[in-house]
Structure 1
Amino acid sequence: MKGLEGRLCEEFSPRYYGLCTVGGMLSAGTTHLAITPLDVLKVNMQVNPIKYYSISSCFTTLLREQGPSAFWRGWAGKFFGYGVQGGCRFGLYEYFKRLYSNVLVDSNRSFIFLISSASAEVIANVALSPFEAVKVRVQAQPHFAKGLLDGFPKLYASEGIFGFYRGLVPLWGRNLPFSMIMFSTFEHSVDFMYCNVIQKRKENCSKVQQLGVTCFAGYAAGSVGSFISNPADNIVASLYNKKADSIMLAVKKIGLINLFTRSLPIRIMLVGPVVTLQWLFYDTIKVLSGLPTSGDLTTHSRVDKAA
């Protein structure tokens, strides 16, 4: 409804959740596409840690053996897979947050953030898993397939439907904690910035200030989430490339310390900026649609008092 302060839709309407879904798809898909070369390095370091023992060795070896095109292997899986995941993650989070806030009126805000993000992420990873299964194989097994178009039928022919969901449980293990921590950290960071730093209500801030808060909160959310999800990320890469047949065997083969440290530096390089850009793109789409930026604030009384 454009008549309402120039907004394309009213908050919490079906069109609003549709806009959030599209915003999540575009923000997640484009940012993951942009960091495909780093993701190729990460996956190969996880799957072949002896051969690719550092970022520099992985880069030079892949460049020498497979050429520059190797760094863009799996780009379609990144763009479409994480686009679908992002649409479900952001759109459903907004929906579940509103739903649980109305149903669980006396619950703690942090609890609402956690269960909303968890509910959204369960569905988002079911949508992501087939794309991730093909993407990881394309990146770590150069002769498996060229991309999604030939990768999907080849994987189905060799492993059936199970092949697309071989790593679903580890995906949940990686992305559920990440999403829960990411959304909760983002929400609390936004609240902290308006209450303690800017000390003004969101609606009294310029759009530039609001997007600045989004960037700060997004980077904090991505940095914290990267530490939480790294062990499961290593397990996912191991299972999809058949380095182990089960989660327990993958943990045993990788080793407890390596589970937390393997590919962590490059993962930190990936996750922090990517999550920041996702939130920036997502909230920019909201702003351009006449909607306020993200962040559920309940500290206006403290803000008014400080002002």
Structure 2
Amino acid sequence: MSKSDRKIQMFTKEYYAACTLGGIIACGPTHSSVTPLDLVKCRLQVNSKLYKSNIDGALKIIKNEGISKLFTGVGATLIGYSLQGAGKYGGYELFKRFYSTTLVKNEEMAYKYRTSIYLMASASAEFFADIMLCPFEAIKVKQQTTMPPFCNNVVEGMKKMYAAEGIKGFYKGITPLWCRQIPYTMCKFTSFERIVEAIYARLPTKKNDMSALQQISVSFVGGYLAGILCAVVSHPADVMVSKINNERKFGETMAIASKRIYKNIGFIGLWNGLTVRIFMIGTLTSFQWLIYDSFKAYIGLPTTGH
């Protein structure tokens, strides 16, 4: 698609607003759709003996709590990850452009150091995105890992958490969330950019000569491969986020809580639920890139990646 055909000019306020909206559409619904997998994963992270397997966990939840309880935490997930998607995708595009034009002298240098730019841009975007996500992640984890659930909906959860711990209760997991999400997003965006670049380099047709559907297909494949890497890189921190949000004692420092929890679960415990997370994150990441780049193509913007 030529520049003259685009409805939105690149690197304008409208462009970043469109990317932000694309991030909301890509992240909120996809994370919400895998709530049953996330529910079983979080419970196994907190207590590895609770279920024999992921299927066993889902069946026991249906039997003991009802099929609707498979979506425990879906409200907080939808709100939290919609906000995070806005900051992550919109912020990534913004910071990528910022670092490409301020830290290097020209486009040639920007291309040479593109991996570093991808890493810095994704880390910067995720830092701010997590500030928006953290309160809802705290409610979601608390709701999913307590039986009966800590709350029935987001509003009730916010009221109860604020009454018990104040504003600090919403952000007691921010440090492990950053430790989980920033490496995850750095891996997600950087590996995606480089994987997609490698795919295009090996195809007989140049990207600009490919149809939107062909480009989106490349994004889907690149997204799934990137998602597998993301799941492995960020899983130990994901376990700690679940454990800390559920088990951190009031007034306990992050360092003391982390040390106590690690002593109880050990190194092996940091990998509880990895298999389901690889499946979940791989699927999530691929569909997020599929949706995000489909949205960009629909409004006349180029898909992500060289």
The TM-score, its normalising length taken from structure 2, stands at 0.92
Correspondences of 1:76-225 after superposition (within 5 Å) = 76-105=75-104, 106=109, 108-141=113-146, 142-196=148-202, 198-225=203-230
Please, which moves more after superposition, 109-118 or 245-254? 245-254
Gaps of 5+ in 2: none
Shift in Å at residue 276 of structure 1? 0.4
Distance in structure 1 (CA, Å) of the matches to 2:77 and 2:88:
15
Tell me, what secondary structure is at the counterpart of 1:255? helix
Distance in structure 1 (CA, Å) of the matches to 2:44 and 2:69:
14
Which residue type is aligned with residue 198 of structure 2?
Answer: F
What is the CA deviation profile of residues 50-82 of structure 1, one whole-angstrom value per residue up to 9, with x for unaligned ones? 222421332232222211111011111111100
Candidates 222, 235, 238, aligned match of 2:240: 235
Aligned twin of 2:296: 286
Distance in structure 2 (CA, Å) of the matches to 1:11 and 1:217:
23
1:250 aligns with 2:261: yes
Tell me, what secondary structure is at the counterpart of 2:247? coil
The answer to whether the 8 A contact 1:167-1:239 is kept is: yes
Distance in structure 1 (CA, Å) of the matches to 2:191 and 2:128:
21
Distance in structure 1 (CA, Å) of the matches to 2:215 and 2:39:
34
Please, which moves more after superposition, 59-68 or 243-252? 243-252
Distance in structure 2 (CA, Å) of the matches to 1:254 and 1:175:
21
Shift in Å at residue 4 of structure 1? 5.9
Aligned twin of 1:302: none
Q: CA RMSD in A?
A: 1.5
Gaps of 5+ in 1: 298-307
Please, which moves more after superposition, 64-73 or 148-157? 64-73
Shift in Å at residue 47 of structure 1? 1.4
1:15 aligns with 2:25: no
Distance in structure 1 (CA, Å) of the matches to 2:212 and 2:3:
18
Distance in structure 1 (CA, Å) of the matches to 2:59 and 2:263:
29
Please, which moves more after superposition, 205-214 or 138-147? 138-147
Which residue type is aligned with residue 284 of structure 1?
Answer: S
The answer to whether the 8 A contact 2:36-2:58 is kept is: no
What is the CA deviation profile of residues 207-253 of structure 1, one whole-angstrom value per residue up to 9, with x for unaligned ones? 11101110111111101100001000000000111167522222222
Tell me, what secondary structure is at the counterpart of 1:287? helix
Shift in Å at residue 49 of structure 1? 1.5
Which residue type is aligned with residue 117 of structure 1?
Answer: S
Distance in structure 1 (CA, Å) of the matches to 2:149 and 2:190:
41
Which residue type is aligned with residue 201 of structure 1?
Answer: K
Q: How many residues align?
A: 292
Which residue type is aligned with residue 85 of structure 2?
Answer: G
Shift in Å at residue 163 of structure 1? 0.6
What is the CA deviation profile of residues 239-295 of structure 1, one whole-angstrom value per residue up to 9, with x for unaligned ones? 111167522222222211221x20001101100011000000000110010111001
Tell me, what secondary structure is at the counterpart of 1:294? coil
Which residue type is aligned with residue 264 of structure 1?
Answer: L
The TM-score, its normalising length taken from structure 1, stands at 0.92
Please, which moves more after superposition, 249-258 or 271-280? 249-258
